[in-house]
Structure 1
Amino acid sequence: MTQHIACELHDYIEVACMYRYQVRLILKDQSTIEGKAKDIVTDAEKREFLLLETSSGSQQIELITLNKLEVLTPGARFSEVKFSDAVC
């Protein structure tokens, strides 16, 4: 069965994409990635990814690998979201 993040956390990612927020992602392995949130995409196995435009091009980050999302865009509607193992 494919894992998904909690629905309320999914909403924050959708807002970040809608407003094209500049974000810093901290993954569960503690690595970080910065870029502009563009879209949420789903693959054939129904895994969900955040499409991020980075300085080195587009990257797809699987949503279940997220630990924290920090918004770097000034005046954004939220500044930080912490993810857990909760599912939708």
Structure 2
Amino acid sequence: MEPYRPISCDLHDHLEIACLRRLRLQVELTDGTQVEGRALTTVSTPAKEEFLRLESADGVRDLRLDQLHAIRALDDESGFGRVVLSA
């Protein structure tokens, strides 16, 4: 896997808000796959990599932030919309 590339603070803030609100998200990964689940928290490793912890139907998953392409809130009342995290 490629070395971790930190995402911008603005984009990180969107993820933090999603976690604080425990939003159900559809997450699009840079490889084209999609994952749905509830945003729980963000996690940092000693190697300075950051992950979105998501509770999905398959259990809890940690998705590396630089592998996220976009997130979209599935909770209609959230007003969160779709946020593109990578180009």
Q: TM-score, normalised by structure 1?
A: 0.91
Runs of 4+ in 1 over 4 A off after TM superposition: none
Paired position in structure 2 for 1:26: 28
1:2 Cα deviation from its structure 2 partner? 4.3
Query: Equivalent pairs: percent with the same residue?
Result: 33
Aligned residues: 85
Q: Which has the higher contact order (CA 8 A, sep 6+)?
A: 1
**Contact in 1 for aligned 2:27/2:34 (Cα 8 Å):** yes
Can you give the 5+ residue segments of structure 2 that lack an aligned partner in the other structure? none
Can you give the 5+ residue segments of structure 1 that lack an aligned partner in the other structure? none
1:66 Cα deviation from its structure 2 partner? 0.6
**Contact in 1 for aligned 2:72/2:83 (Cα 8 Å):** yes
Q: How does 1:62-77 map to 2 (within 5 A)?
A: 62-77=64-79
Give the letter aligned to residue 80 of structure 1: R
Paired position in structure 2 for 1:13: 15
- The RMSD of aligned alpha carbons is 1.3
Give the letter aligned to residue 26 of structure 1: E
